[in-house]
Structure 1
Amino acid sequence: MGGNGMARQVILFVAQSLDGYIAKLNGSVDFLNQQTAHGVDIDREYDKLTEHVDTVVMGRKTYSQVVNQLSPEIYPYVDFQNYIMTSKPAPSTENLHFVSGSVDQLVEKLKKQTGKDIWIIGGSSIITPLVNANLIDVYQIGVVPEILGEGIPLFPHEVKTHHLELISAEKINQVAYLTYHRLHE
């Protein structure tokens, strides 16, 4: 438990197309950047999230995409403890931990440690087991006004049924931010 008596929350913060895809079939997420760049209002959702997060969890594909394509100059998550799920563990550094095994076991372990909240970055190979184990406390999903027709779904067919509670729906420029909490069964 954290010092304030609150357990660490596991937060899925992710953007998707209107038809539910987090990336194109080739892995490209350029449609998200085009959408989130438009508009006059300052979108502070990311900043608000990172104020209460100290740990990020992602898959190896997502990590590779970040360091090779999306942000090769500056690693954007340098201020966090990073857990990268991989079948081929690499040497860890001070804040980059390459971990094999099951992501739900890792997240259960992290939840028991003291600290701030845990941000699940993606992709679906990471998200699916966490949904199925009911380990995600907060789903914050930005829906961009694009219909892709095909791509990599946020929730693939392997996910189990879950009922969530809608906490808020907010429009910022052209993005609809939907925030759901898990129901404690």
Structure 2
Amino acid sequence: MAFRYYTATTLDGFLADDHDNLDWLLSQPIDEDGPMNYGDFFADVGVAVMGHTTYQWLLDHEVTDGKPWPYEIPSFVFTHRGISPVAESISVVSGSPADHRDRLLDAAGGKDVWIVGGGDLAAQFAEADMLDDIIVSIAPVTLGAGRPLFPRRFDLELQEFDRNKAFLCARYTLAGPRESPAP
């Protein structure tokens, strides 16, 4: 069981553009059965965790035209906003990840906890010492601005890497927080 941030990013470190658009990601070739693929990753996942922006993106792009919520596993949405879950498997929570550690572990049933996004939520998990690794697929695209991959200062250790068609795929563990430079 591990807390894992599995995501994709542009070469310049953005998850989405300023309008939460993912066209850059969806236009890249990838081998669905290739290295570090989603299917193999998801087979070990027991819980999905996300912030409000990721939840809203899923509602706007995946839960449309009568399509159901895409995850049958328990899903936790971290937000301070009052939202109504669209499926019984969704729990809306607020506070720090540490406040919900036991609940997430219980819901995962011995499987991994997937921090779906965004980057700020993943960084909150890291600050709570609840992020075991970051698995990232890096696309050959730059956006110049947008939603950052991981907006905190941390040192990482590369554990493995591979290529999946257009993507450089890498798995990192967290070595620890990085000190801010002196002014």
The reply to whether TM is greater than 0.5 is: yes
The aligned residue for residue 106 of structure 1 is: 100
Q: Letter of the aligned partner of 1:28 in structure 2?
A: N
Given that residues 30 and 166 in structure 2 are in contact (C-alpha distance below 8 angstroms), is that contact kept between their aligned partners in structure 1? yes
- 2:17 paired with 1:24: yes
- 2:38 paired with 1:46: yes
Distance in 1 (CA, whole Å) between partners of 2:105 and 2:3 is 8
Given that residues 24 and 148 in structure 1 are in contact (C-alpha distance below 8 angstroms), is that contact kept between their aligned partners in structure 2? yes
Alignment deviations for residues 125-145 of structure 1 (CA, whole Å, 9 cap, x no partner) = 312211222321021000000
- TM-score under structure 1 length normalisation: 0.81
**1:165 CA displacement:** 2.5
Say what the alpha-carbon RMSD is for the aligned residues.
2.4
Distance in 1 (CA, whole Å) between partners of 2:105 and 2:175 is 17
Distance in 2 (CA, whole Å) between partners of 1:112 and 1:96 is 15
- 2:122 paired with 1:130: no
Alignment gaps of 5+ in structure 1: 1-7
Given that residues 75 and 90 in structure 2 are in contact (C-alpha distance below 8 angstroms), is that contact kept between their aligned partners in structure 1? yes
**1:182 CA displacement:** 3.1
Structure 1 vs Structure 2: percent identity of aligned residues?
Answer: 26
- TM-score under structure 2 length normalisation: 0.82
CA separation of 1:100 and 1:145: change in aligned 2, threshold 3 A: same
SS in structure 2 of the partner of residue 25 of structure 1 = coil
CA separation of 1:148 and 1:26: change in aligned 2, threshold 3 A: same
Residues 164-173 or 128-137, more deviating: 128-137
- The number of residue pairs the alignment matches comes to 172
Given that residues 141 and 178 in structure 1 are in contact (C-alpha distance below 8 angstroms), is that contact kept between their aligned partners in structure 2? yes
The aligned residue for residue 87 of structure 1 is: 80
Given that residues 108 and 135 in structure 1 are in contact (C-alpha distance below 8 angstroms), is that contact kept between their aligned partners in structure 2? no
Alignment map for 1:60-79 (pairs within 5 Å): 60-72=52-64, 73-77=67-71, 79=72
Alignment gaps of 5+ in structure 2: 178-183
Runs in 1 of length 4+ with deviation above 4 angstroms?
A: 89-93
The aligned residue for residue 96 of structure 1 is: 90
**1:84 CA displacement:** 0.6
Q: Letter of the aligned partner of 1:75 in structure 2?
A: W
Given that residues 33 and 39 in structure 2 are in contact (C-alpha distance below 8 angstroms), is that contact kept between their aligned partners in structure 1? no
